[in-house]
Amino acid sequence: MDGTIRAASPDDVPAMLALMRELAEFEKLTHLFVASDESLHEALFGVRPAAEALVAEQDARVVGYALFFHNFSTFLSRRGLYLEDIYVQPGLRGSGLGTALLQRVAAIAVERQCGRFEWSVLDWNQRAIDFYAKMGASVLPEWRIVRITNDALMRLAKAE
């Protein structure tokens, strides 16, 4: 692998946000992308951080990232680590940076005695599915993501 993996710093926010936009384009989800430098900075480095991130650098340039946070399993009665995003720029895929990011987050999960390390993958992204399987991950076909946002979230919150 030609590059380094390190914890993200506040100075990395603009580069990470640019990579997040690239990911939204790749996933054809730019219509949902509303993150800003300010909101990402607050989420990662604010008074009460919601997530953590690692960045992959090559030639002193941020070219990938992994963003993760803790969740909890009632069945295990232990916290887990959820990988929200892992992204490496297309020209550097296959360089080992994605593997290194995934391994580093897995090591953090082990260090913190997490019971699980989980993430989601789009069903059409076969290259990613194959990559994850090669790393030892299982895609769970019986589970579906359930999501409620925007107006529907507001309506549900008001229902008592």
8-state DSSP, 96: S
Query: Is 82 in the active site?
Result: no
CB 51 within 8 A of CB 69: yes
Rounded distance, CA 137 to CA 57, Å? 25
Two tokens at 118?
A: 């989980």
Among 65, 82, 87, 132, the active-site one is 132
Partnered with residue 82 across adjacent β-strands are 69, 118
Rounded distance, CA 51 to CA 32, Å? 19
Q: At 9, phi and psi to the nearest 5?
A: -120, 165
Encode 125-159: b = buried (16+ Cβ within 10 Å), e = exposed: eeebeebbeeeebeeeeeeeeeeeeeeeeeeeeee
Q: Would you name the residues annotated as active-site residues? A: 132
